[in-house]
Amino acid sequence: MHFRWSREDEAFRQELRSFIKEVLPADWTGYREGTDDWWEFFRWVGRQLGARRWLVLAWPEEYGGLNASYWQQLIFKEETGYHRVPGINFNGVNNIGPSIMIYGNEEQKRKYLPGIASGDLFFCQMFTEPEAGSDLGSLQTRAIRDGDYYIVNGQKIFIGDAHVADYGWLAARTDPGAPKHKGISTFVIPTNLPGITITPIIDAAGEHLLNQVFFDNVRLPAENLVGVENRGWYQMMTTLDFERSGMERWAPAKRLLDDLVDFAKTEKKAGTALPAPVRYRLADFAVMSEVGRYLAYRVTDMQTHGKIANHEASISKILAATLYQRLANFGVNLLGMYGPLSPKSKWAKMRGEFERYLLATIPTTISGGSLEIQHNVVAIRGLGLPRG
């Protein structure tokens, strides 16, 4: 088999690279500062991408897309991921927007999808709770119908970007008496409603990405229910299938590997070759990276043929999360005494990116469903094995 991109696809890739070179500073590292200036730049880049309709290339034109092929969408994710381009609200573009397109009514589609496509609306995903992480069926946040409203009470935790989001994609229990995986519904909820309190969680890397979200008798209009009441579990699973399937995991890992290979080439002692174990490990990572890239291509091919990747998405997620963690750990050790230095240290090599990534990749094998959950999905839905 000879795999080649079309002339149109190659032209789009070159146009995208020219754009990236134009908007990103020459010394751009992708380091997330979390300051007001950083977020302002993030939103600005997002709107530039949205103005070109690149954020949602494959979406219908009526919702802000270009009706482009899924392959061009993949090229976009590959290039922006590799170059660490900010401005992409992954929750809105990858997970929530497609879910609204499937389950939302026409009014909801017109209200939210164009804003996601333009980069004007920023979404966060409100699933995880203190007692319901990967086991989402155990969530306890409640949304009880009261006339034209739902009254929301409960708590969410580890919610990425909730402090800067305009809306949340909320999963809540609407029938407390229903069995574990039933009685759950999904909503679009404005983050500025009275009764919502968002508090920061500073992660191991010292960054403010995650948050706790508290709901105290929040009055949410019933029109914000997406899909069918009490069918939210199945809609959540669709959202997670979108979350687990993207190239955006593989392209940054490939960039990290390329940076590490360049460092290994330039930092070796004059006249000496890299030790064989180091070369072998780098070669293993290169093979793993290529396998992962084609797994992502497989998901794109399924989307092209109108299929929703399920266990295929889980396979991609397992390998991507594992590669990212192992690569970051190996990089810190390869740098020796310089490895633990943060990006803020003047002595840091490679801008301290491996110290940052080592800490940042800790949750990658948990978020979006832990590896144990992913292995179960592959075993049961992929291999047809009985539930244990």
- Give the whole-angstrom CA distance, residue 320 versus residue 317: 5
Place of tokens 């589609």: 109
- The helix or strand, by DSSP H or E, that contains position 182, with its residue range, turns out to be none
C-beta of residue 23 within 8 angstroms of C-beta of residue 15: no
- Give the whole-angstrom CA distance, residue 58 versus residue 47: 17
Report the residue count for the chain.
388
- Give the whole-angstrom CA distance, residue 164 versus residue 41: 13
C-beta of residue 130 within 8 angstroms of C-beta of residue 157: yes
Radius of gyration of the chain, Cα coordinates, nearest whole angstrom = 21
C-beta of residue 55 within 8 angstroms of C-beta of residue 93: yes
- Give the whole-angstrom CA distance, residue 231 versus residue 222: 15
- Give the whole-angstrom CA distance, residue 30 versus residue 207: 13
Candidate list 243, 312, 353, 355, residue with the active-site label: 243
Per DSSP, which regions of the chain are E strands? 123-126, 142-146, 149-156, 167-173, 184-190, 196-202, 208-221, 225-226
| Catalytic residue status for 107 | no
Query: Quick check: helix, strand or coil at residue 198?
Result: strand
| Per-residue CA distances from 344 to 40, 51, 85, 144, 278 (Å) | 21, 34, 21, 48, 27
Place of tokens 């494959």: 58
Query: Quick check: helix, strand or coil at residue 127?
Result: coil
Q: Quick one: 204 exposed, middle or buried, by C-beta within 10 A (0-12, 13-18, 19+)?
A: exposed
Positive or negative torsion for Cα 350, 327, 329, 32: positive
C-beta of residue 55 within 8 angstroms of C-beta of residue 113: no
Question: Which residues form the catalytic set?
Answer: 243
